[in-house]
Amino acid sequence: MINYHIKLKFNENSMSKIQRILVIGAGVAGPAVCYWLKKFGFSPTLIEKNSSPRKSGYAIDIRGIATSLVKKMGIYEEIYAKRTQIQNGCYVNAQGNILHQEEGAKFGFRKEDEIELVRGELVEILMQLIKGIPCYYDRNVEQIEQQKDGLKVIFNGGLTEQYDLVIGADGLHSSTRRMVFSKEEYNLVSLGSYISVCSIPNYLNLNKSEFLFELDQKLIHLSNDRTPTMAHAGFMFRSNHQLNDIRDEQEQKEFLRTTFRDLGWESNKILELMEQSNDFYFDAIMQVKMKSWTKGRVALLGDSGYCASPLSGQGTSLALVGAYILAGELQAARDNHANAFDKYNQLLRPYVQMNQDFGVWVSNTFLLPDEVSKEAVEERAAKAMAELHNAAHAMVLPEYKTTS
């Protein structure tokens, strides 16, 4: 296991001229790339627009080659201890009758040492890992000015700083992408669906179990994990309808009520309890398509550059793998960031493409127009397991020399 403690002093003659790197976004990708940048001898600074880390969130997966990376980082055991503990999963029909049942990990399409955990718990582990790296909350970037030998960055409040490079790890709705790249240089591709998750009381007294109900291009998810009194609810559905303001929570909830009311199973009760949730999340299911994730001295990382959509189940793994390769290529190229960025685009592209293709496959295969049958569920599950395994192992990770 690689020792992840960071040496704070380096031999000055061995240090790259590229040192000061601003990383925007303290989700998964941002802290992960900060870890590797420090490991490779750079001086990253992390900023986040929110006032504190988001400790809740939906369950995410670490799969395939990303699993080996968290082992390299020395945090696999800590992540494993925080894993979800779903023991079984079921598909039910509108009357609540079980159509299909599997052991928890198989129901979630996980193999071997792959892990599912709540997003906020992974972020907390990563933030502890990089606790020696400067991190500032409530800080937004208002302007990035590319210069010959660096970047001038203006923050909210008027603060101005100089950096050698900027990495935008600020998610699907990346402000970094909008500031640096023209509208012709990126495309947000809708997969024609929406997703919503929230926590509600465990009114069915579920015990480490997961239920899915799918009908008429709509899906309801309900599960209980380690907290006996709480359940996690989710909605996913196809719709061509566009909200007037996708950030308006009341409009989002009304859309859900209109879509899922009287659908069947527990739809009405979950909608009722949704109103009381304090961690409601809603968004369109989209992918980010770009010919290049870099421009000048700015690079995009994770969902900001190549979101594969929640349907892929691979967003976290893409973020972790991308962070490692971006930081590693910067180290390998020494002061030539242009070469490093070219290699980053080149090496990661096939892995990204395969995972985005899998996200599209899921979009086309799930959310069927009729009530899902036992046979359809079982056939689809076997195919999904194989396709996801291929996507999760779609590249061989390069090795990079570290300074610590």
CATH number where 159 lies: 3.50.50.60
Segment (H or E) for 379: helix 374-392
In a domain, 5, yes or no: no
Domain assignment present for 131? yes
Residue 274 lies inside a defined structural domain of this protein? no
- How many folded domains does the chain comprise? 1
As a whole number of angstroms, the distance between CA 140 and CA 157 comes to 9
Residue 239 belongs to some domain of the structure: no
Instruction: List per-residue pLDDT tens for the chain, 404 residues long.
Output: 333 332 323 333 334 588 999 999 999 999 999 999 999 999 999 999 999 887 767 899 999 999 999 999 999 999 999 999 999 999 999 999 999 999 998 888 898 899 999 999 999 999 999 999 999 999 999 999 999 899 999 999 999 999 999 999 999 999 999 999 999 999 999 999 999 999 999 999 999 999 999 999 999 999 999 899 999 999 999 999 999 998 999 999 999 999 999 999 999 999 999 999 999 999 999 999 999 999 999 999 999 999 999 999 999 999 999 999 999 999 999 889 999 999 999 999 999 999 999 999 999 998 888 878 888 888 898 899 999 999 999 999 999 988 76
Distance CA 77, CA 125 (A): 11
Domain carrying residue 39: 20-88+105-191+286-393
> Under a CB-based contact definition with an 8 Å cutoff, are residues 333 and 351 in contact?
no
Residue 109 inside a domain? The answer is yes
Q: How far apart are CA 345 and CA 401, in angstroms?
A: 20
DSSP one-letter string for 320-335: HHHHHHHHHHHHHTTT
Does residue 61 lie in a domain region?
Answer: yes
In a domain, 371, yes or no: yes
Domain assignment of residue 258, yes or no: no
